Structure 1
């Protein structure tokens, strides 16, 4: 066993820290300051980097809590983790009980180093530094316990971080569901995902997967296809897109989605058997639920059936509430339905997963728009709590003369009309203004509508485009052309668009986003002929129904203000999340906001203080300590395998229809890809002061 330098204790004031420099993350001084100012409820912790704690902390109890958590999370397959940590726990238990043996602390140190050297995954192969920190900072506490003294119980909380999981906005336990997928247990993997994301099949098709950018294997340029495996598991577990899934599920019909009670979800892997008809009529189990039990559930209003609203409603229903969603559209999903084209997210997939959410007890009232069909004041009178999860359904104008002409439209309206089956006449020449995903969606939709001349005009260069890189590549493959460093000046035409005048640009100093700022070049404007100009330069929510609500505060960007940790507005009982707070963000960010709101709505309705829930606090502490960048260096010249690639239709086939372009991983590819995961778990246990 190679010798390793012990952690160096560091006193930053309230907290003493002993953090190893083997891991990326803030320096001890910085970490201590973060914990002091941003997580004052934390009075001690053990993590992959080491230990921290206040004077008087019972380190024995904290160490026991850490080892209990490791034992709970252990898969039990490797002896060092299963048995070694058990022996370490026995040592601390003897200390706690005043029955320590000579040499126990030396044995604890030796076990920590040996377990780290030989354990397979991050559950236990990160145990050295927290145990050495425990020994460094807890020496006096150990001595007290060795003399037979005891301490009052402490309150602890635990979370299993990982570079990928801590990067995911929803905190989905990627290593665990990858392990389950590698064991060919898609139902269990999907159940793991649904703890934090009720739309795994949707996210498996739409997420830009920031988690993969922090995968340890990115050092070998072969990160795990985390999102593709999520999609594979959901498709198998929920029978998505299949007439009859080999693992049990089946495709919903329109009647099923209209009446979710008709659809029995099968997550057992067994072929569903319909109940036999009897002359005696319905059995007791077939009878309607007890009305008293139903009405005893507190109702919560949710405004918007987009990803934030669906997520909030799902987790509220799981917590025993009766959420009612008010949706202005005749379809579920909000921007998922009307903003993401069919070739990226089939509507049948979305409807299936929404039906599963409805089966949890969620009621969706379609074509019930707040501000048109009911007022927000009426919701406040009827419901004890409200979640506002409206999407960014309004496009931003180009801000140039002539954009009121026929043939000028924004991408959000264009995509909505196509999604709802309306006929949209765009002519033969289309210009799409912008460089984000909405611009790519609009351009690629035009190609599928039969337009042969589609050009994306963007004021920066290709490297500055915010769209997903693969969307840009696929747009080019389908025939979309790009003109960079050009900004619109004027739409030409009399009654209808005939062209667009643009100012050539060049890149200057970086702006607030870190991208190079486009500035006008010293040359004459240029003109592009066009029948239609589609603006894709941003989107915003419509807050008109909420403007007169007492207690609401809007920030300088005209978004609703709320507590960043609880999502409650200045008016108690009203919560907000998703695009209503951040603008047009990621789908997974909206889903995460919905769950966060549901957790804190439950606190509000149960009479608890509406403060940051412990799970979110511990997750935030993991991020403060550098969990996102806690990758360990990979050995040189090792074979880490090759990333599995999902099959994609050829460009010639893609442009002929709106059929889903990317296919689900095959079973062998998904199984082999999941097996490449290194399970870079990073255990974290914190001790909490009274909150």
Structure 2
């Protein structure tokens, strides 16, 4: 249990005492919480209404309306005593799927309070070191500075908090009164997030991972020059210290059946992602020298060697394609080219990652689609066709049309196919598959992540929703709340009351108001090209403490302006 959890419990007890006081004496709860002006308002208003009622006491429509207003104000007084004034949130916080109090931790970094900044982030995000490197940064798109010097470098500031902040001392948890364990399939971001929030609620959690190490795609699917292994292991070690149990080398459906999992746990969360590779259905995929990019990344992670000499062709336009291209560059390829059937605007991959690949010498050709691979035993070329896009209704991707007579062949020595992944439901019994799966994903309640079968929850890529680390963390948190409600058999009324009584509790810290400095967005230093393409050293170097403080000083603290 984190210190902030204990602080929240203490704060909740204070709020309940304030509510109780205002229940008997309007305004007393506000006085108790040192909100003198609000307390005086409610106390004087109620005294006036009581006097008014005694003066005009006659049963008529006027007095009925006065009673209704009196009762409404009484309820507002009670709610205000508990909730307090509405908390202002900055645009970046509202845009963040995890709901991190971004403006607060940026102010803490500005003052050099790295420990407090780390705890602020940990309240909503367990994978701080990871997210400080591979987050897709939706918060920066809504930064108020985006048209005035450039959005704040929020991701880099978060990384500084992870690097220089000290992980909080863990408090010993009380035994779980429910005594119900939770099983989680998959140790990717969604599974780790759900386990984190469940263990903080006091539930014993076991994560089942088919690989020999926890982390999922974070560990073996993202190259080390983007996300170093020790960074992932640092975040996972923190989760282990919380008491989460990792059962690695256990493949559900092989080493242990799904039914056994249901019998062993009160509730089960499916968070195994979408790791089944989409097969490219064209001639020649069986030739030597052709690899699926995700399989190649996994193989390289386990220490196997792949010959990337000569010309390497990458088929696809997502982050895996960019990662595979950069790996090929570091493995001695003479030329690496990405072939993509759409344009840059419709690429599913992160534009910043594409820019990094181009910086390292990768070339890209748009509007081309692979038709077949040529060669006898080993691939020696790819036959491509020119394409064009046919626009569809707004909100939908364009249709890809291959142009007749536009085929041409390029020479290559190795091909890496990165045309995406899909969900694999083979570990589920057929009867459960029929009830859970709709189309190509598991259908869930988006608020609780509960499936159509009670006690079974799903989160992450397997639900067919957005595929980013921070979105997976958010789904894991929702799943943890849904599982908690399920185990406690919470009814609809109880859920509504708990949602209304929920509150955000920023850690108490004396943060002085400072005027934001003007200036352009600071960019992190990058590893020199000649060193980057010949090693697996991390390319993005992040900020120094001084650079982070200076960049944090640009923050307008929008949560204080509203």
What residue in structure 2 maps to residue 573 of structure 1? 455
Measure the CA separation in 2 of the matches of 1:571 and 1:506.
44
Measure the CA separation in 1 of the matches of 2:97 and 2:310.
41
Report the CA distance between 1:467 and its aligned residue.
Answer: 2.1
What residue in structure 1 maps to residue 314 of structure 2? 432
Residue 675 of structure 1 pairs with residue 557 of structure 2: no
CA contact (8 A) 2:423 2:440 kept: no
Q: Give the TM-score taking structure 2 as reference length.
A: 0.82
What residue in structure 2 maps to residue 214 of structure 1? 142
What residue in structure 2 maps to residue 94 of structure 1? 43
CA contact (8 A) 1:600 1:613 kept: no
Q: Give the TM-score taking structure 1 as reference length.
A: 0.67
Q: Deviations over 1:158-217 (max 9, x none)?
A: 664321111111111111111111121111111111111100110000011010000111
Residue 650 of structure 1 pairs with residue 528 of structure 2: yes
Report the CA distance between 1:533 and its aligned residue.
Answer: 1.6
- 203 and 151 in structure 1: CA distance in 2 versus 1, 3 angstrom threshold: closer
Residue of 176, 186, 201 corresponding to 2:114 = 186
What residue in structure 2 maps to residue 225 of structure 1? 153
What residue in structure 1 maps to residue 263 of structure 2? 381
Measure the CA separation in 1 of the matches of 2:240 and 2:539.
28
What residue in structure 2 maps to residue 640 of structure 1? 518
Report the CA distance between 1:616 and its aligned residue.
Answer: 10
SS at match of 1:365: strand
CA contact (8 A) 1:161 1:683 kept: no
SS at match of 1:597: helix
Report the CA distance between 1:553 and its aligned residue.
Answer: 3.1
- 318 and 141 in structure 1: CA distance in 2 versus 1, 3 angstrom threshold: farther
Kindly report which structure 2 residues correspond to 1:247-258, keeping only aligned pairs within 5 A, or say none: none
Measure the CA separation in 1 of the matches of 2:102 and 2:425.
36
SS at match of 2:147: helix
Residue 607 of structure 1 pairs with residue 556 of structure 2: no
SS at match of 1:311: helix
Measure the CA separation in 2 of the matches of 1:517 and 1:646.
38
Report the CA distance between 1:461 and its aligned residue.
Answer: 2.3
Measure the CA separation in 2 of the matches of 1:611 and 1:442.
51
What residue in structure 2 maps to residue 501 of structure 1? 383
Report the CA distance between 1:680 and its aligned residue.
Answer: 1.7
Structure 1 unaligned residues grouped into runs of 5+: 1-59, 73-82, 102-139, 239-264, 269-284, 621-637, 685-691
Measure the CA separation in 2 of the matches of 1:528 and 1:148.
75
Report the CA distance between 1:523 and its aligned residue.
Answer: 3.9
Measure the CA separation in 2 of the matches of 1:678 and 1:475.
33
Residue 307 of structure 1 pairs with residue 235 of structure 2: no
Aligned length: 508
Measure the CA separation in 2 of the matches of 1:647 and 1:664.
6
CA contact (8 A) 1:552 1:560 kept: no
Residue of 634, 641, 662 corresponding to 2:540 = 662
Residue of 201, 219, 223 corresponding to 1:337 = 219
Residue 479 of structure 1 pairs with residue 343 of structure 2: no
Structure 2 unaligned residues grouped into runs of 5+: 1-21, 51-64, 503-515
Kindly report which structure 2 residues correspond to 1:18-97, keeping only aligned pairs within 5 A, or say none: 89-90=38-39, 92-97=41-46
Report the CA distance between 1:615 and its aligned residue.
Answer: 10
Report the CA distance between 1:519 and its aligned residue.
Answer: 2.3
Measure the CA separation in 1 of the matches of 2:465 and 2:330.
28
Report the CA distance between 1:380 and its aligned residue.
Answer: 0.5
CA contact (8 A) 1:91 1:100 kept: no
Measure the CA separation in 1 of the matches of 2:265 and 2:445.
21
- 615 and 420 in structure 1: CA distance in 2 versus 1, 3 angstrom threshold: farther
What residue in structure 2 maps to residue 459 of structure 1? 341
Measure the CA separation in 2 of the matches of 1:160 and 1:612.
26
- 214 and 614 in structure 1: CA distance in 2 versus 1, 3 angstrom threshold: farther
Measure the CA separation in 1 of the matches of 2:447 and 2:119.
26
Residue of 381, 384, 394 corresponding to 2:276 = 394
- 211 and 552 in structure 1: CA distance in 2 versus 1, 3 angstrom threshold: farther
- 331 and 583 in structure 1: CA distance in 2 versus 1, 3 angstrom threshold: farther
Kindly report which structure 2 residues correspond to 1:409-424, keeping only aligned pairs within 5 A, or say none: 409-424=291-306
Q: Deviations over 1:249-302 (max 9, x none)?
A: xxxxxxxxxxxxxxxx6669xxxxxxxxxxxxxxxx9xxx99x95897421101
Measure the CA separation in 2 of the matches of 1:535 and 1:148.
64
Report the CA distance between 1:550 and its aligned residue.
Answer: 3.4
What residue in structure 2 maps to residue 564 of structure 1? 446
CA contact (8 A) 2:109 2:549 kept: yes
- Greater percentage in helix: 2
Measure the CA separation in 1 of the matches of 2:207 and 2:288.
36
What residue in structure 2 maps to residue 441 of structure 1? 323
Measure the CA separation in 1 of the matches of 2:418 and 2:66.
62
Residue 354 of structure 1 pairs with residue 303 of structure 2: no
Coordinate RMSD, CA, aligned: 3.6
- 489 and 348 in structure 1: CA distance in 2 versus 1, 3 angstrom threshold: same
CA contact (8 A) 2:119 2:168 kept: no
Q: Deviations over 1:560-612 (max 9, x none)?
A: 11111111111111110001112670011111111111111111112213799
Report the CA distance between 1:340 and its aligned residue.
Answer: 0.7
Measure the CA separation in 2 of the matches of 1:617 and 1:509.
42
Measure the CA separation in 2 of the matches of 1:645 and 1:616.
43
What residue in structure 2 maps to residue 176 of structure 1? 104
Measure the CA separation in 2 of the matches of 1:487 and 1:201.
37
CA contact (8 A) 1:552 1:569 kept: no
Measure the CA separation in 2 of the matches of 1:494 and 1:619.
68
- 611 and 216 in structure 1: CA distance in 2 versus 1, 3 angstrom threshold: farther
What residue in structure 2 maps to residue 526 of structure 1? 408
